[in-house]
Structure 1
């Protein structure tokens, strides 16, 4: 589990095909204190298993599934990525609960400066937009952000100068693809409510009376 608060940059120092997937060699620009072989590290928001840890370098295997659902396949030697080590139970939860399981890709439609801030507008797969709500949380390349606005298949976020300079979001330009993880709570709610559908009408049986009967009102 992660928070979406990026700890530093990583650089791809090696990339090779392996077993239908790929092996990446990554170097962090911060100390991997107390590294544990097999620990989870989020790379641009994708939860990967670190192995062969030596100093600030480690290897990570990326499965065919991850290559198809994320932007990892487009990374090359020299590419910069956002890194976050897994959350400790004693840590502050500065962002929101992030699983590191990428839901899909979004495309930068527009980038513009608004005062001291940078506004990004992204287009997203329509199948994911139902999980994106105004002022809700979303993870972009591993960075926990608040949604400014959303409509149809587009949403916007406003980036503060600190986040722009300490993550790879500052490198983004129109047309770039980014990894997206929607708020996990929305997916769980959808799954739970999905079992409460009238078999004949196909409509949800959730109503004010249903909520009152079960103690929610």
Structure 2
């Protein structure tokens, strides 16, 4: 489990895939986040939970399954790209953001950003299928960053969107600070909303 509090921006060294093989390997420079991360350990890369296969000299090697390459922005990464990194929260650790699983629900895109004094307002387009899970003052993870939603599109809107406000710390310490309009981002909605919908779909049946 993660909390959406980014510890470091890593740098993509390489992303490898073989013809006919529906998987790959992501190699990152991550001097802070790699410390003490054993093979088999988990780390969130732009909000995607990945498993480390090797770790030496501040370089992480991570397995990437085909599902991840197809359904997140991971497959679009290029050498030199900066990525948000978070290690999983230890038992008893502080939950400073919100419950983030590292299971991306869909890909959105930055529509525009509006600078203000000491902060910025950003609007993201979101797939219609995810819009019902996003609520004003609720939580959402954007490229692994825990954010509070400040406004949402109406239920009948043809194009779904949501707004978030970024404080200086988020602008300085995550890749969202330099993201240009049009950029794709990984989105993970609040897991409680998804489970609530699933329970309601069964109409209170116990399953017995």
Alignment TM-score > 0.5, same fold = yes
State the shift of 1:91 in Å. 1.0
1:171 offset after TM fit, Å?
1.8
User: For 2:35, what is the secondary structure of its paired residue?
Assistant: coil
Please state how far the C-alpha of 1:31 moved relative to its aligned partner.
5.3
Match of 1:13 in 2: 13
Alpha-carbon contact 1:69-1:104 (below 8 Å) kept: yes
Partner in structure 1 of residue 66 of structure 2: 64
1:170 is matched with which residue? 177
Q: Is 1:100 aligned with 2:102?
A: yes
CA contact (8 A) 1:13 1:78 kept: yes
Give the length in aligned residue pairs. Answer: 198
Residues 69-109 of structure 1, C-alpha deviation per residue, up to 9 Å, x if partnerless?
A: 11011111111100001110121100000000000011111
What is the CA deviation profile of residues 36-76 of structure 1, one whole-angstrom value per residue up to 9, with x for unaligned ones? 21101000000000111113211111111111111011111
Structure 2 SS opposite 1:190: helix
Deviations 1:117-166 (A, max 9, x none): 11100110000000000000000000000000001401000000111100
Superposed CA RMSD? 1.4
- Equivalence for 1:91: 93
Of 180, 188, 191 in structure 2, the residue corresponding to residue 184 of structure 1 is 191
Structure 1 unaligned regions, length at least 5: 199-217
Per the alignment, residue 127 of structure 1 pairs with 129
1:157 and 2:157 aligned: no
> Could you tell me whether the CA contact under 8 Å between 2:31 and 2:59 is conserved in 1?
no
Structure 2 unpaired stretches of 5+: none
Cα drift, residue 33 of structure 1: 3.1
Shift of 1:197: 7.9
| TM-score after normalising by structure 1 | 0.88
Q: Is the 8 A contact 1:9 1:29 kept in 2?
A: no
Q: Which runs of 4+ in 1 moved over 3 A?
A: none
**Aligned-partner Cα distance in 2 for 1:60–1:33:** 15
2:3 counterpart SS class: coil
Larger Rg: 1
Per the normalisation by structure 2, the TM-score is 0.92
